[in-house]
Amino acid sequence: MDTKLKTDDGTERTEGRKLKRYNIIFKAAAFILIAASAFYAIKTLIAPENPFANQFYLNDLFSETHYEETRQYYWMFDGLVRNIDTVVNYGSEQNILAGNTVSQEDINLEIQMLYDNYLERIHRTEVDHTSYYFYDYETEYYMEYSEPYYSSGRPPWERFQAEQKDEIANIKAVAVQRHLTDFRAAVSAIENNKNIKYYIYTDGEILSTGDFNEIAGGKYAYACTSYANDQKTVVSQGAFAFDEKYIESQSSEFEAVKIYVTDCIIKCAVCAAVFLLALAYLVFAAGKKSKDPHGIHHVFIDKIYSEAIAALLVLSGFAVFYTGYALFDEWFYRKFTYALYGLSVLLAVSLLLVIARQVKSRALLKNTAVFILLRGICRFLSRFIFKPVKKLYEAGSPMVKTFVIIAVLGLLTAVPFAFVITLPPALIFAYRQIMKYAAVKNGVKSIKSGVYEKIEVKGSGEFALLAADINDISAGLGTEVERRLKSERLKTELIVNVSHDIKTPLTSIITYADLLKNEDVENEAARKYINVISSKAGRLKTLTDDLFDAAKASSGNIAVNFEDVDINALVTQGLGELDDKIKASSLDFKVSIPNKKLTARADGRLLWRVFENLLSNVFKYSLTGSRVYINVFGDERSVNIEVKNISAQELNIPEDEITERFKRGDSSRHSEGSGLGLDIAKSLMLCQNGELTIKIDGDLFKAALKIPKSTPKVG
């Protein structure tokens, strides 16, 4: 029952060799190898067929090469030496019974020990401590000082002597008895040892299996002699020597055990290597399948919580340890123990593989009960607390949002030291909101300057909604502006093309009308008609030219050559140019030009066109005999030309419409003129960064030109 939890987006690189790498047979073989190596290792270690394994210390087996260097030999030798010494020192049973072996120092020492014990006992039960403090000048502290206080008042030594009189009297007898026991045990230990030759001389009696000198000169021997006060008379003497054959047999046994143990260790190492290799393979192959070498496949057991798996793994580890340990000294149910051992090894490996699979699919943490529990809690909180609050927040107006934020912050401030948790997210929140606000602000600024870029604000907050609305508006504005520009351009193009096309036939009309005039036409009426055609053709020419100019000027498609223009000179020049017309008209020109030179930044030729248009209007529309005022004056930033005249006709159009194309002072359109003069003038002024304003006050018509002042050159 495989459960495929996760599969890499398999680029199917299924080569033949890879196919077999995760074969089930390989895995089974690895399992068998693990079980076999674990089993063989333990079997080798407990070694039931090796009867001498326990005789030697493992340390000696590894570090010593000769039997004589082993601890076993040393302790055996040392025990015999102590026995010989005991026998020689005590001399004989008579000597001990005579009390010669117990000195007065020994007895005093024994009494002292008894007394110490006694003191300790009464201190525990009877003694009160009276303590007082004194000032220690050295350490500058008050120290506690206490001394024992014996409630009975009688000195303890006397009490001890009285109470333990019997024990004190018996000390010597007990010591003699102990020495006697020791002496006898030593003699019997020497006598009973089959592996040695010995020689003991005490109290004139010789216990021996050989000659003293021969024994003392042996290869593995020890000798000891006690002399009388004259330093010559032998009181007692002892010696022993190991049977050389015995040592040889022990030596060869040691060698055999050593070889056997080394062999064991090699076997165990091989087993361990096999075990680890097989385990490594299984860990590597865990979850992989030959058919799909890149995916991680899980079995049902993988769904168990990771903690349970880990706990079971620890338990099975203990089981392996305990069953293995039990096999060393438990001889009952041996087969059953073996079975338990094998099972726990396999269980541990299987559990390890479960963890390996979970690690591979990065599911180890996700599969822990703690994680699942926390996730459940989080989901519960998000579903029943955070989401409703969020919903309330998002659905609400800015007022509601502010309320929610303040309420939450208020609640949090009630918790002591909550700022540690609340401050970082609050700062991040504030930073993000400020960044969003800045994005919206910059976006609006760029829209204001005519760049219709989209404002990017992520999320679904207030600023994102605002940005989306602004984006909609700017998109609409952008397309509208584009559409307007396009239609304006098309209109201009149309006018330019049409005026071109009109000019050619118009040329013929003008020319032939002129030719007709020169013919001898008898008929008076015909002559009159020819004149009408000629004059109207001329008017058509003016109209076409003006229309063309208007279209060019308003599209801004005109070369502007900025220079410093002397406005006084320009007005003077203009009035000079039109001098004949001024003189021919009945108008009275009142010109006011300051003596101070006024220079403006403009294109003189275009400015003249504007001025000429204004004056031409004056000639066309002024009331006969009225005065015309032309004022030139400068202010801080600009130079101004004002033209004021009295209209002959009633001005019945609003000021803001008079500069529109084809508008004329008389709505009946009887007078000459194209109705484009002011439109051209206005467009040309805009091209030069200037401005033309028209004011109408009753019959007073006032046109004002405002031209930027030229910046004075330094030096």
Partner 1 sequence: MNILICDDDREIVEAIEIYLKAEGLGTFKAFNGREAVEAIQTGDIHLVIMDIMMPQMDGISAMLKIREQKNIPVIMLSAKSEDTDKITGLTLGADDYITKPFNPLELIARVKSQLRRYTELGGADIKSGVYKSGGLTVDDRQKTVAVDGEDIKLTPVQYKILLLLIQNKGRVFSIDEIYETVWNEMAYNSDNTVAVHIRNIREKIEINPKEPKYLKVVWGIGYKIENR
- Could you list the residues that contact partner 1 (CB under 8 A)? 500, 503-504, 506-512, 514-515, 518, 537, 541, 545, 548, 552, 559, 563, 565-570, 572-577, 579-580, 593, 595, 600, 602, 604-605, 607-608
| Minimum separation from the CB atom of position 619 to partner 1 (A) | 16
Report phi then psi at 596, rounded to 5: -70, 135
Report phi then psi at 460, rounded to 5: -130, 25
| Minimum separation from the CB atom of position 655 to partner 1 (A) | 28
Q: Please, which residue, 89 or 492, has the CB nearer to partner 1?
A: 492
| Minimum separation from the CB atom of position 551 to partner 1 (A) | 12
Torsion on CA atoms 103, 108, 110, 112, rounded to nearest 10:
-160
| Minimum separation from the CB atom of position 514 to partner 1 (A) | 5
Nearby residues of 433 by Cβ (< 8 Å), 6 or more positions away: 461, 463
Residue 605 · residue 561 · CB < 8 Å: yes
Tokens describing residue 390: 């969020």
Q: H-type helices in 68-164, by residue range?
A: 71-90, 93-97, 104-125, 156-163
Residue 221 · residue 241 · CB < 8 Å: yes
Q: How far apart are CA 587 and CA 37, in angstroms?
A: 130
| Minimum separation from the CB atom of position 459 to partner 1 (A) | 55
Q: In what order do the strands lie in the sheet with 205-208?
A: 205-208, 196-202, 234-242, 221-227
Residue 7 · residue 292 · CB < 8 Å: yes
Q: Please, which residue, 509 or 623, has the CB nearer to partner 1?
A: 509
Q: Please, which residue, 232 or 583, has the CB nearer to partner 1?
A: 583
- C-alpha distance from residue 93 to each of 105, 179, 185, 457, 542 (Å): 21, 9, 12, 111, 166
Q: How far does Cα 529 stand from its chain's mean position?
A: 96
Q: Please, which residue, 276 or 560, has the CB nearer to partner 1?
A: 560
| Minimum separation from the CB atom of position 645 to partner 1 (A) | 18
Helix, strand or coil, per DSSP, at residue 144? strand
Q: Please, which residue, 53 or 509, has the CB nearer to partner 1?
A: 509
Q: Which of 183, 246, 243 is nearest to 215 (CA)?
A: 243
State the number of CA atoms in the 13 A half-sphere of 77 facing the CB. 17
User: Token pair 């525990």 is at which residue?
Assistant: 124
| Minimum separation from the CB atom of position 499 to partner 1 (A) | 8
Q: Please, which residue, 357 or 706, has the CB nearer to partner 1?
A: 706
Contacts 24+ apart (CB under 8 A), 484-487: none
| Minimum separation from the CB atom of position 450 to partner 1 (A) | 29
Q: Please, which residue, 115 or 589, has the CB nearer to partner 1?
A: 589
Helix, strand or coil, per DSSP, at residue 140? coil
| Minimum separation from the CB atom of position 591 to partner 1 (A) | 8
| Minimum separation from the CB atom of position 711 to partner 1 (A) | 16
Q: Please, which residue, 34 or 628, has the CB nearer to partner 1?
A: 628
N-term to C-term CA, the chain: 98
| Minimum separation from the CB atom of position 599 to partner 1 (A) | 8
Q: Please, which residue, 60 or 549, has the CB nearer to partner 1?
A: 549
Q: Please, which residue, 375 or 605, has the CB nearer to partner 1?
A: 605
Q: Please, which residue, 114 or 509, has the CB nearer to partner 1?
A: 509
| Minimum separation from the CB atom of position 621 to partner 1 (A) | 22
How many helices and strands, by DSSP H and E, does the chain display? 23, 15
Tokens describing residue 354: 């479960």
Q: 111 exposed, middle or buried (CB, 10 Å; 0-12, 13-18, 19+)?
A: middle
| Minimum separation from the CB atom of position 506 to partner 1 (A) | 4
Q: Please, which residue, 360 or 620, has the CB nearer to partner 1?
A: 620
For residue 299, what is the enclosing H or E element? strand 296-299
Tokens describing residue 303: 């769904």
Q: Please, which residue, 11 or 504, has the CB nearer to partner 1?
A: 504
For residue 202, what is the enclosing H or E element? strand 196-202
| Minimum separation from the CB atom of position 430 to partner 1 (A) | 59
Q: Which of 325, 81, 43 is nearest to 186 (CA)?
A: 81
Q: Please, which residue, 495 or 537, has the CB nearer to partner 1?
A: 537
Helix, strand or coil, per DSSP, at residue 288? coil
Phi-psi region of 91 (alpha: psi -120 to 50; beta: other; left: phi over 0): left
Nearby residues of 649 by Cβ (< 8 Å), 6 or more positions away: 621, 665, 666
Q: How far apart are CA 153 and CA 276, in angstroms?
A: 76
Q: Please, which residue, 576 or 654, has the CB nearer to partner 1?
A: 576
| Minimum separation from the CB atom of position 498 to partner 1 (A) | 11
Q: How far apart are CA 415 and CA 477, in angstroms?
A: 51
Residue positions counted in the chain: 715
Residue 226 · residue 101 · CB < 8 Å: no
| Minimum separation from the CB atom of position 502 to partner 1 (A) | 9
Give the angle 114-119-120 at the CA atoms, nearest 5°.
100
Q: Please, which residue, 245 or 596, has the CB nearer to partner 1?
A: 596
Q: Which of 226, 221, 219, 192 is nearest to 207 (CA)?
A: 192
